[in-house]
Amino acid sequence: MKKYFITGLLIWLPLAITYMVIAWIVGTLDAILLWLPAEYQPSRYIGFDIPGVGVVASLLLVFFTGLVAANVLGQKLVQLWEALLARIPVVKSIYYSVKQVSDTVFSSNGQAFRKALLVQYPREGVWTIAFLTGQPGGDAAEHLRGDYVSVYVPTTPNPTSGFFLMMRRSEVVELDMSVDDALKYIISMGVVAPPARRPEPVPALSDT
């Protein structure tokens, strides 16, 4: 009896969680339709709400924004928009902080979140998975003696929250593991371990 129940649970639980995550994403993106005036709501013409319309509208909005921003005129409009935001004190700080992060993460030649690491945290002898985000900069780098790297240590099972650390390069181990595999490992709380790609000891993080 217990065996059959657990077998059924292992089948339905991933499906249920997947459904809840997708339903949350669709519901969140569908909320973009609330930006439209009531007379332009799709449900006004159809007579009922269609789940997923907001998802399509969001994807189209992102696509056409990129299409417009890819030409000279679009770049000028983006510059004017950013110049306007730069005049608003609080908005300026938030916007440019997020923009710097997104530009670094999504840059084709950037190294942020391109390498999975093994670091000792929160104390020596305790190891966890982290991601390379770059090198320390600004005044903080002036106070660090030696070769340091910036790492992000995510929490489990929610990797969107975590800790930013500056660690000696010699104390960081680069893993032969993709970022996707590392995220699965973190989200599953260590249950879904990625396959080992090489049996030899993992070398320390290189300069490249």
User: Domains of the chain: which residue ranges?
Assistant: 1-70, 71-109, 116-187
pLDDT beyond 80 at 32: no
pLDDT beyond 70 at 135: yes
pLDDT of residue 205: 59
Provide the token pair at 129. Answer: 């998975």
* pTM listed for this prediction: 0.55
pLDDT tens column, 43-102: 667 766 777 777 787 888 888 888 888 888 888 888 888 888 888 888 788 887 777 767
pLDDT beyond 90 at 118: yes
pLDDT band, residue 126 (cuts 50/70/90): very high
pLDDT of residue 28: 80
Give the 3-state secondary structure of residue 131: strand
Q: Which residues contact 127 (CB under 8 A, 6 or more apart)?
A: 118, 119, 120, 121
Q: Which residues contact 49 (CB under 8 A, 6 or more apart)?
A: 42, 43
